[in-house]
Chains A and B, each alone.
Chain A
Amino acid sequence: MDRPLLSIKDLTVDFITPDASMRAVDNMSFDVPMGKTVGIVGESGSGKSVTSLAIMRLLPQPPAHISGQILFDGTDLLKLPDDQMRKIRGDKIAMIFQEPMTSLNPVFKTGAQVAETLMLHRGMDKKTAWEKAIDLFNEVGIPNPSQKVHAYPHEMSGGQKQRVMIAMAIACDPKLLICDEPTTALDVTIQKQVLELLKGLQEKHKMSMLFITHDLGVIADVADDVVVMYRSKMVEKDKTRAIFESSKHPYTKGLIACRPDMGANPKRLLTVSDFMDEAGNGLKVTRDRVQVFEKDYEAKNGNDILLEVKDIHTHFPIKGGLFGRKVGEVKAVDGVSFQLKRGKTLGLVGESGCGKTTLGRTILRLVEPTSGSIIYDGKDVTKMGQEEMRLLRRKMQIIFQDPYSSLNPRMTVGEILTEPLVVHGLGGGKKERLDAAKALMEKVGMKANQLNRYPHEFSGGQRQRICIARALMLRPEFVICDESVSALDVSIQAQVLNLLLDLQQEFKLTYIFISHDLGVVNFISDEVGVMNKGVLVEMDRADRIYKQPREEYTKQLLGAIPKGLPKNIEAFIS
């Protein structure tokens, strides 16, 4: 085979500031062959995005110090003068970013932004550039391209914006397309379309692709070769199939194993720490760690109904006009009914904007319902007065999605954890309250002596544990987890899911688990409800929903999940 299109040799990137220096990429070497796709997987902070920015020479120097070689078509990009690099950027190497919402300039028409690239690199006049832009819109599958080129970014959906980004990227027939988490911000069904589009374009234009993602499922769908990064280092590179079937590095094994999938349900998820200790040494995984979990669907203990939601509607007014008159309404939740048994977990899945979060907040009356009733333990929550509601808050809690914004940055962890007790006048004096907080810190896998720290001193996973501890301080019976693991890396996600299951057993909790991730919901839930446009499309036992979906929408949703390659549990046991 002829020489690779892109060849990276001993790439090292350091960030050096007066305060600290940090090695973001440590001695990376890999090739991207002509017409192939190489995927880089790794968790946040592993250095994968820095690698792509280094290739584009988009890292500000200083603070970045780059060494090594980046050979593109035989020339070392690191040695090129700036003006020549600018010609390569966008022309021979193009890039697609994660956030389609912010990568397009909101004040220009989308067509103009594509045409600009063409005028800049191809020297086209305005008229031909616009005509070419219409062709490109057509190629990336935007409906009505001749009209849509005149649309502004805010007039397009997220998926369409990402298509515009792709049109812009392929405008000059690049030889290499770098995709940095291009589908992470999109819903699964849209993700599937975008991935198919990218694959199609790659074959048609004979491009090479460098595909960066944290999602192993996506990688398995698109990449020929995979590079695995962990803490700035490349730990493994191989053919995609080989990575999934016989990975050698314990971190890769852990990464593959900790991903909940649609197949057999393990009792607990394996985590990276089952495969590797802190120092990076491989550990043995024994058979009892991978037991298949038979869910106890027809539970003998506690078959009583804890929560019953009857025909709940939550509508938000749309205000407009001079005096903020109501001009319409958004029907976020539009007639949902279900029952939830004590000690069980109901998973709510759906795409963004389907109303699942609003439903969760309505049940807790953080948002007032427009109509309908919520019967909790025999009493109608919607008819409760302020005092009665305050008392009920002891029993119902919520864990939010974003571990960064859900903790008050000005309070210590101790203050955060004891606050629920202070509000309700429970738990005795200050010392007793702190003792209770300490005990719970240990329960969620944190250290008891960390109570005088502030939230910013913890990592995302640790903060989410603190959020869980806060929710449990009042000893609730019912907890809503609203996308509680979505912002976490997969290996941390697995640990938190395991923790939630342990706590459910210990404290006899009933969960509503809201997520867009069908794999996670399948793992944790007894029953699953699929939501779309404010209504509950289908609700059934988890295994039935996944194996025999009845509704068209559920089938569509399940079909869109990147399957990855089936994991071979046996390969993990040593």
Chain B
Amino acid sequence: MSAQDTKSLWADAFSRLVRDRWALISLVIVIIYAGIAVLATVGWGLPDWKTSQASEYLPPSSQFWLGTDLFGRDVFAKVIHGTKIAMSVGLVTSLIAIPIGVFIGAIAGYFGGWIDDIISWFITTFSSIPNIMLLISITLIMGKGLVSVYLALGITGWVGLARLIRGEVMKHKEREYVHAASAIGGGHFRKLFIHILPNVTHLVIINTSLQFQTAIKSEVILSYLGLGVQGEPSWGTMIDDARQELARGVWWQLAGATFAMFLVVLAFNLLGDALRDSLDPKLKGK
């Protein structure tokens, strides 16, 4: 072996990931969703959903792939635009929840003692409140709208990750490479952030993928309950609209939104599984 073909564990994991066919398909789906979300945000190249283009409740046809809604708007275009809300909720809540979860979990796991006691108490209390109740009360306090959804999901999403990281850090801090870092005179900062954290990052990545899809589902539920997004198509509000429509035999709005959500949630789940398989050193070689 020459010095060039050296491989870090990350590179090694990546090459294992792309060899998994389902993981690759999932990754492509996630990238397409992300691409659509970006296009919808900059308002470029996507079909128009705002204006009424035909009469109400037209069934799916070659012109309107998923038919039209009450105002004669293109349902397919609405589904496409709903991607923007879904993906942005996933992204923003992950950006809020993950740093909090990692930091709090790492501190609790590394220092232990009374610091851990306090944080663990907090985690346990937080996770004993039914999640959806907490979400509803937060959005009710802060008012309806996207920002409330971001915040509500962000500050409830860190708990599971914090617990995971805490346990993993506790395990790693007794490893000999951490003792070795103490023996060369490394301080707490070095041991925790330079030695231990890179060894638990794979959990963060796996968790992000799962966090993402949980956030998407939660946004749909909140919007369905009328607490979420206003004035913009989201899959949740579309499913909410479908309540009245189904009685009249109008199924396409429900089907479109549900399928769009199903596909992305499935993709994230498969990706999460594949990431765990390829990143977890314990499963290596199996």
- Which residues of A does B touch, CB under 8 Å? 361, 364, 366, 389-390, 393-394, 396-398, 400-402, 405-412, 419-420, 423-424, 449-450, 452-454, 456-457, 467, 470-471, 473-474
Contact = CB atoms under 8 A, between A and B. Distances in A.
A452 B6 CA distance: 7
B281 A409 contact: yes
Contacts of A471: 183
Contact of B185 (A408, A412, A423): A423
Contacts of A449: 3
Nearest to B195: A408
Nearest to B180: A406
B7 interface: yes
Contacts of B1: 457
**Nearest 8 interchain pairs by C-beta:** A406-B176, A393-B185, A420-B184, A410-B198, A400-B176, A408-B177, A390-B185, A453-B6
B8 A470 contact: no
Contacts, number: 80
A336 B157 CA distance: 51
A423 B183 contact: no
A405 B190 contact: no
Given A405-B175, A407-B177, A408-B195, A423 B184 contact: yes
Given A400-B176, A401-B176, A423-B190, A410 B7 contact: no
A453 B12 CA distance: 13
B39 to A, nearest CB: 36
Contacts of A453: 3, 6
B186 interface: yes
Among the interface residues B1, B183, B186, which one has the most CB atoms of the partner chain A within 10 A?
Answer: B183
Counting chain B CB atoms within 10 Å of each CB, which of A364, A389, A423 scores highest?
A423
A419 B190 CA distance: 10
Nearest to B200: A410
B50 interface: no
Contact of A456 (B9, B183, B184, B190): B9
Contacts of A397: 183-184
Given A361-B179, A409-B199, 16 more contacts: A366-B183, A397-B184, A405-B177, A407-B177, A407-B180, A408-B199, A409-B9, A410-B10, A423-B185, A424-B184, A424-B185, A449-B3, A450-B3, A454-B7, A454-B8, A473-B184
A542 to B, nearest CB: 26
B182 to A, nearest CB: 6
Contacts of B198: 408, 410-411
Nearest to B16: A19
A178 B264 CA distance: 53
Given A409-B281, A410-B9, A470-B184, A400 B3 contact: no
A423 B186 contact: yes
30 contacts: A361-B179, A389-B185, A394-B185, A397-B184, A398-B179, A398-B183, A400-B179, A400-B180, A401-B176, A405-B176, A405-B177, A407-B177, A408-B177, A408-B181, A408-B195, A409-B199, A410-B8, A410-B10, A410-B199, A411-B198, A419-B186, A423-B184, A423-B190, A449-B3, A452-B3, A452-B6, A454-B6, A454-B9, A457-B1, A473-B184
